[in-house]
Structure 1
Amino acid sequence: MDIEKFIVEFADQYDEIETDGFGPDTKFKENEEWSSMTALSVIAMVDDSYSVRLTGDDVRKSSTIQEVYDIVASRINS
């Protein structure tokens, strides 16, 4: 699993925002475009792309893209 690819896929869940500014330390919930719909899109993207079940609780407990990535990576490797 590649963090850079994950960041691009994560950023693509935002409708009207440039994805250039996203990185591992991006606090994704601080973005004005973040919404419950974006959260559901991220959960669906993780399921489709990585066959990993990410929960709403996982997203709520995470602050950065890196934290979400770490959860997904740990479930792929388990």
Structure 2
Amino acid sequence: MDHLFTVDGRTATAIARTGLPAEGLLERKHLQEWVIAPPRVLGESVLMITVEYDRWADTDGVPARDRLDVL
């Protein structure tokens, strides 16, 4: 299990688990935008191709109804 901490000098204190709704954040409006600009938050070797990609098909060849947030 991952933990988040606040650090003050030499003291690290675990913080309570939370979620986007509890913090007044939305996936598309906040989290997705943080990843898009700048995408290097995902790692130096990550290449972002596009956002809201909707031109793909399921494994059976049927066009997908959902969009990929970030490709």
TM-score (norm 1): 0.26
Asked which structure has the greater CA Rg, the reply is 2
Higher relative contact order (CA closer than 8 Å, sequence separation 6+): 1
TM-score (norm 2): 0.27
Greater share of residues in helix: 1
Greater share of residues in strand: 2
